[in-house]
Amino acid sequence: MNSKNSMKATWIGIISGVILALFLKVVQSITDHQVYTLLLNVDYIPIVKEYQFPEVVEVLFHLIVSVILCTVFVFLYDRGRGTFRKHIIFFSLAINVLIGLLLYPTTSFSERTPSVTSIPALCWWVLGHTIYGALVGILLGRNNKK
């Protein structure tokens, strides 16, 4: 991957990741569903779970994951053809909703996060990942039209 694509992936990951974090932080502050806490949660990662990190470091972890994910999307987009490129927003949205659904059960590994059976928290979580996925697709498609 060239430096132009690396920068593209980095900016898309940071912008989308910050918007997801802000959305879930606002939702948590309004509804008291711990979805922002879940986003920043590392209680399921061995060794890392033993440490208490400040919020800014937890957000940085989230942004690193976002940039890595966006790097994969940029790589796939650049090698993709036809339908994938034409429908990048749909593919990004669908993949990110799937990732959100696969990550949600990690809430069972922490007492700080919502109950795994909390339907409202799950809905907010999925909505946040829907917004994130759509934004990644929009930014990727728009950035590549220039």
Please determine, for residue 86, whether its predicted confidence score (pLDDT) is greater than 80. Answer: yes
**Cβ–Cβ < 8 Å for 42, 61:** yes
The one-letter code for the residue type at 11 is W
**Cβ–Cβ < 8 Å for 8, 141:** no
The one-letter code for the residue type at 23 is F
C-alpha–C-alpha distance, residues 78 and 37, integer Å: 34
- pLDDT tens-digit map of 90-144: 999 999 999 999 999 988 888 889 999 999 999 999 999 999 999 999 999 886 6
Reported as a pLDDT band with limits 50, 70 and 90, residue 79 is confident
Among residues 144, 34, 11, 35, which one has the least CA distance to residue 100? Answer: 35
Largest CA distance in the chain: 46
- The pTM of this model reads 0.92
Reported as a pLDDT band with limits 50, 70 and 90, residue 146 is very low
